[in-house]
Amino acid sequence: MLRFLTAGESHGPLLCAVIEGYPAGVELSVDRINEQLARRQAVYGRGGRMKIEKDRVEILSGVRQGITLGSPIALQIKNLDWENWKGVMSSDPGEFQIEKAKERELTRPRPGHADLAGAIKYGHQDLRNVLERASARETAIRVAVGTVGRILIEALGCRVFSHVVQIGEATAPDYGDHIFSAEFVKQASASPVGCADSKTAAAMMAEIDQAKEKGDTLGGVFEVICTGLPPGLGSYVHWDRRLDSRLAAVILGIPSVKGVEFGLGFRGAGLPGSLYHDPIHCTPKGEIYRPSHRAGGLEGGVTNGEPLLLRAVVKPVPTLLKPLASVDLRTGKESLASVERSDSCIVPAAAVIGEAVVSWVLAEAVMEKCGGDSFDEIQKRWQEYIDGTCDYIGSNL
């Protein structure tokens, strides 16, 4: 079973993760992971924290000379801002550290954050004990872990990418099948906001600038796409083994994501079934195909051989420079919410995170279907399975 755990606080010394069940024999380099970490940081709308952090992963175990060993893989990303927070976030209960922590104590919860609910749940008096782990900073290590999964599925011929569909009121056009082209991926990747349409990208950046000037924030929509997946990944036999439910869970686990859809999803809610579902056709050579992608590549919780398409709705960042009304938990009096350093818009960054977590779940599904202790075993079983699906389709026509 492929699994991982992460640890670390936003302003602690580091973020770390341990991956278990990853096969031996996979080429794994820090450069591939750092490339994705840089994409998460270098997007439009990020705040001052990104000027401090220069995320770089360190592989501490499970890899030797660039090749995975099959043993647990340990990763870490150091928080450069730790130097400014040593006293506040120290695990040492010394007198100096306690005094520093009191100086940065937070007692006014921010609407939209985990501050109040988390404090009630765990009995914390200082809201920093909540926000340090609830912070989206933790997604940096999830991007690193997800990239480890991505490397596995890409070695089998899959391709994962994303693009931003909407920020504020600026919405990208319908690209049609152009989204599956290498040119589209290149255009989206080169955009500061992850949008392949330059005119829309300019409008998105203008909206972000306006929101920032007002001390406000913006949300939006991003889409993650994966091509090269064979039919049969996932399962329909239990709800928790359905690939769509597992993908939805990791997408909703990204801070600020409030909704997810596959294929046509919510946008087709008013359509009759005859216009919502994808007809199945067959070529004269016996090849089954779909003329549309309304299902998003999943039927019954199982991949159907078409490209995977999912969209996620991202709410505006809840930390506002002009804070909303709140209550000071120390005094019990109404006050303005605390203000922390924050981003104006995280939609482009969330799209990169979305690629990573989707890649991880797909790697899990691949291991379940074609698992082995080494990549050679997986690769062999993967090809045998693909060949078998072709034989099945041909023999049942």
CATH code where residue 249 lies: 3.60.150.10
Beta carbons within 8 Å of 108's beta carbon, 6+ residues apart: 127, 326, 327, 328, 329, 335, 336, 337, 338
Q: Can you give the pLDDT at residue 395? A: 52
Q: Residue 64 is part of which domain span?
A: 3-395
Q: Can you give the pLDDT at residue 389? A: 79
List the chain residues with pLDDT less than 70.
Answer: 47-52, 390-397
Q: Can you give the pLDDT at residue 97? A: 79
Q: pLDDT tens digits for 4-37?
A: 999 999 999 999 999 999 999 999 999 999 999 9
Structural domains counted in the chain: 1
Distances (CA, A) of 107 to 60, 87, 269: 38, 19, 43
Q: Can you give the pLDDT at residue 397? A: 45
Closest to 55 (Cα-Cα) out of 135, 149, 162, 143: 143
Give the span between the Cα atoms of 117 and 204, in whole angstroms. Answer: 33
